[in-house]
Amino acid sequence: MLSAPMQQQVNIGLIGGGTVGGGVYKALQANGALMASRLGIKISVTKVVVREIKKSRPVHIPAALLTTDFHALIHDPEIHIIVELIGGTTTARSVVEAALKAGKPVVTANKALISKHGETLFALAKANKTNLYYEASVAGGIPIIKVLRESLIGNRVVRLYGIVNGTCNYILTRMKAEGAEFMDVLADAQRLGYAEAEPSLDVDGHDAAHKTGILASLAHGFWINPQDIYVEGIRHIGKLDIQFATQLGYTIKLLGIVKCLPSLKKSKGPRQAIQVSVYPALLPKDHVMANVSGVYNAVLVRGDIVGDTLYYGRGAGQDATASSVLSDLADAALDLKCSSRDRVPAFVDHEKNGKVLSTGELVTRYYLRLGVSDRPGTLASIATILARLNIGISSVIQPEGHEGATVPLILMIHDASNASMQKALKQIEKLPVVKGAPVLIRVEDFE
């Protein structure tokens, strides 16, 4: 592994000069001297890889630092740390793998890369006696990776709840405040730059799933296959659901959820069952997570010793992400200075027997909204289907003031498995009195 030079200066190569890369460069210019005074090490940007040298950028980077050749940067002996900030899982993967094979520490903000290829990349880092740092990959400026990896090292994480996608949180916040429909708020969010022109990654839950999978892997010591995560977005949430949730004492949020459940029996001993899910949920309106608004993120971690702890802040943006990258650069520089490859291992094997709960096994309470014909026997026919599947109804609301052939019917459902509820919905949808697709939202009480 490379050692820091005698003059206590570490040279870094930035790969990516866009919003995040420019933010890191700007932050180092502003606070580099402060970091050097605290670390005893100067962190210097030696080269910045970009696609087009003459392109206009949000942050000015001197032309003398710019290059288009990431291979030369990685193999330059004068560059000690590689910072990957280009995103994606193709070129970014090639960059990170090449740097790790060269024995150089890598800092990345790439949640998709870590989620999809993290297990391979960390094995590669270990094999080449170097390290991979990824604080900025989850929740922007919130130091949640360091919290799970170091601060809560003496705890088993029994629950983790994350509002980790600012776009969805912004949309749901405005829907509640304005009584607006999803598509109207999405269109305005796109106009304002809070949502992408192609918003599927965010509003369908995939971005949150990347981040939740990383947190689950770190919390439980084995890599979570992204395909094992149950993912549901917010497209089906309507203003009626926001309205009725409020009347019932709830707020709707898109949650990433990691739960440690009772062990499963198997021939060679117990397996730890882990729920890893992303879906919109009704949260009690007086709970702190229900009051995380706008583009902000929050992660609640429950340790078996410490209890509940909460981490809140900006989950994206140039400065928030740059702050986390600088934190990783400080760790990487100190590791080089002290010749320490890995002070606290990123992942351990203590729970490799763990199993991610299948989609059908998920058990929660539910909010169910149906459009039904307003005539006698409607509720009885629906209740009969639920009863046959041993699903209990805790309360029913049939609000007044809705006229026409179809009126809303809201049922709050006791704990039931996802498999049972999906089976019930298929039967309920076939009833002549039910019009349109049911809306099913889970309820989370943080118990």
What are the catalytic residues?
211
Helix (H), strand (E), coil (C) string for the chain:
CCCCCCCCEEEEEEECCCHHHHHHHHHHHHHHHHHHHHHCCEEEEEEEECCCCCCCCCCCCCHHHEECCHHHHHCCCCCCEEEECCCCCCHHHHHHHHHHHCCCCEEECCHHHHHHHHHHHHHHHHHCCCCEECHHHCCCCCCHHHHHHHHCCCCCEEEEEEECCHHHHHHHHHHHHHCCCHHHHHHHHHHHCCCCCCCHHHHCCHHHHHHHHHHHHHHHCCCCCHHHCEECCCCCCCHHHHHHHHHCCEEEEEEEEEEEEEEECCCCCCEEEEEEEEEEEEEECCCHHHHCCCCEEEEEEEECCCEEEEEEEECCCHHHHHHHHHHHHHHHHHHHHCCCCCCCCCCCCCCCCCEECCHHHCEEEEEEEEEEECCCCHHHHHHHHHHHCCCCEEEEECCCCCCCCEEEEEEEEEEEEHHHHHHHHHHHHCCCCECCCCEEEEECCCC
Distance, CA of 202 to CA of 250 (rounded, Å): 23
Residue 53: CB atoms within 10 Å:
12
